[in-house]
A = this chain, B = another copy of it.
Amino acid sequence: MSNLPLASRTTDLVGSVIDSSTSLLAKQRHDIVRFAMGSPAPEAIPAQLLHGIADEQLARSDAFDYAATEGDPALREALLGILAETGERTTPERLLITAGGMQGLDLACKLFVDPGDLVVVESPTYTNGSATALSYQAELLEAPVDDDGMQVDRLVELVERAGRVPKAIYAISTFQNPSGASMSLARREQLLELTRRWGSVLIDDDPYGMLRFAGADTPSLLALADGDPLVFGVRTFSKIIAPGLRVGWVDADPSLQQLLINAKQAMDTCTNLPMQRLIAGFLAGGHLGEHLTVQRAAYGERKRAMQDALTEHFGDTARWTDPEGGFFLWVTFGAQIDTEALFEVALAEGVAFIPGNAFSPSKLFPNALRLCFASSTPERIREGVARLRRAVDRLTGPS
């Protein structure tokens, strides 16, 4: 490789521990409890419905042709209809269909991040989100998260200390990945105010917002921004319908639409048409509402099962977050537990998770880990947490 004329940014291309853990998983026992990947439960994916819709949609003569870069008209129309019933009512000029939320982040960085630019990320944050900013050679500033989301006061101090304002702020404000925390309304308003003062772009990534199972709704940053061009909304069907579809959307200022189309054409031409048609059929058929109702109830039950099991096995030795929606719990052990060391022991015990350091570019969480409660039944969750306890005992105890 030393002979290859690599670009300077290639040293900033970081791999995801999620992927390597998946490869590791494949080599382990088959009954492993999977708390690692942020996937919906297999039974939460409306596969039978999608299969039926595919039977109809894929029979159309143009089903396998190129799609328009901004998205298939049928999906755009169905999505606009769905959003009109939410706080995120939007217009065609703001909408671009993407290859999942990840491409929304790639587009945001493509449009806004120059090498060396300061980009704020939450700490902890979504691994592939910070990886995207790094792939554009951003300099990352980690803003700590507590139970009320990003600590915006701390952000102000950190920016003062950095001596320059951030070009972009990357926030997962609702049911944050990986912490599960949601930003309070006061902090959201404060963050929007800072965004305007600094002239930064606020990348509002919200994959889980429709999956609330407790507490009262808080308006998203995008909704609060009320058309402010500085707020760039990134959304996805991955968590609410299915991740393998690779379909999401961007809701951004109309002045950006042609730039987004140009950038996307140079990335993948268009998003795959058959999956756009499947989702259009699913939405137009009125299935989303009931689907979400069922999933929310199931995810709430799973979260409680996981918290109960954690109390039983780790009540005295760890603490964890209390999310009101989404997929994740964030568990923090005492300083003596190295969760990267724990990872392989846990795999051998039959349970997978993601070590905390994967969610921090400067590896600030060596004794924390992320657990996904969404993918496993309550029974499997209890079994998985018991296995995690055995793994911790093996790692720390002399027994």
With CB as the reference atom, state the residue of chain B lying closest to A68.
B22
Contact present for B1 and A114 (CB under 8 Å): no
Contact present for B272 and A246 (CB under 8 Å): yes
Could you tell me the distance between the alpha carbons of A267 and B245 in the complex, rounded to whole angstroms? 15
- Interface residue? A50 (CB, 8 A): yes
- Interface residue? A131 (CB, 8 A): yes
- Interface residue? A226 (CB, 8 A): no
Chain A residues 57-85 with CB under 8 Å of chain B are: 58-59, 61-69
Residue total for A at the interface (Cβ-Cβ under 8 A): 88
Task: Report if A62-B42 is in contact (Cβ < 8 Å); known contacts: A8-B114, A269-B102.
Answer: yes
Partner of A268, one of B13, B64, B102, B253: B102
With CB as the reference atom, state the residue of chain B lying closest to A101.
B269
Task: Report if A111-B6 is in contact (Cβ < 8 Å); known contacts: A19-B265, A99-B268.
Answer: yes
Partner of A7, one of B14, B111, B242, B255: B111
Could you tell me the distance between the alpha carbons of A16 and B68 in the complex, rounded to whole angstroms? 12
Chain A residues 238-264 with CB under 8 Å of chain B are: 241-247, 253, 255-256, 258-259, 261-263
Copies of this chain, how many? 2
Could you tell me the distance between the alpha carbons of A274 and B271 in the complex, rounded to whole angstroms? 13
Q: Closest approach, in angstroms, between the C-beta of A336 and any C-beta of chain B?
A: 32
Task: Report if A9-B68 is in contact (Cβ < 8 Å); known contacts: A256-B4, A269-B246, A275-B275.
Answer: no
Contact present for A262 and B15 (CB under 8 Å): yes
B-chain residues with CB within 8 Å of residue A201 when the two chains form the complex = 4-5
Contact present for B55 and A106 (CB under 8 Å): no
Could you tell me the distance between the alpha carbons of A319 and B11 in the complex, rounded to whole angstroms? 49
Partner of A10, one of B67, B245, B259: B259
Contact present for B99 and A64 (CB under 8 Å): no
Could you tell me the distance between the alpha carbons of A110 and B8 in the complex, rounded to whole angstroms? 10
Contact present for B102 and A64 (CB under 8 Å): no
- Interface residue? A149 (CB, 8 A): no
Q: Closest approach, in angstroms, between the C-beta of A198 and any C-beta of chain B?
A: 9
**In the complex, the 4 A-B pairs of residues with the closest C-beta atoms, listed nearest first:** A64-B242, A244-B273, A1-B255, A246-B272
